[in-house]
Amino acid sequence: MVLACIMIHCKPGTAPEVMETIKSIKSVRRVFETLGAYDVVVEYEFPSLEKLGITVYEIARINGVIATETLIETIM
């Protein structure tokens, strides 16, 4: 399994609901609301890039989500 860090910009005031919705997604290791450049941060474990793409698209469609940025683990 590979890890990804997904960082999310939300409409003001929507971060708590966005976070609750994300908690229900399978293989999410960690999700928390943050101060700083992003509003919600997710640590996600995925078996394939295709599965990651589907999940990021699912997150991007949650009501309140404006934009996402994904950092994928490199195997060095």
Partner 1 sequence: MAQMLVLMHAEKVSVLDIVKNLSKMPYVVDVFPTFGRFDVVAFCSVEKRDDVGALVKRIASLQGVLKTETLVEI
Task: Evaluate whether 10 touches 1 at the Cβ level (below 8 Å).
Answer: no
3 binds partner 1 (CB under 8 A): yes
76 binds partner 1 (CB under 8 A): yes
Size of the site for partner 1 (CB under 8 A): 21
Least spacing, CB of residue 44 vs partner 1, in Å: 11
72 binds partner 1 (CB under 8 A): yes
**What does the alpha-carbon distance between residue 31 and residue 67 come to, in Å, rounded to a whole number?**
16
1 binds partner 1 (CB under 8 A): no
Phi, psi of 16 (to 5 degrees): -60, -40
**What does the alpha-carbon distance between residue 74 and residue 55 come to, in Å, rounded to a whole number?**
19
SS3 call for 12: coil
- Mark residues 8-47: x for contact with partner 1 by CB under 8 A, - for none: ---------------------xx-xxxxxxx--x-x----
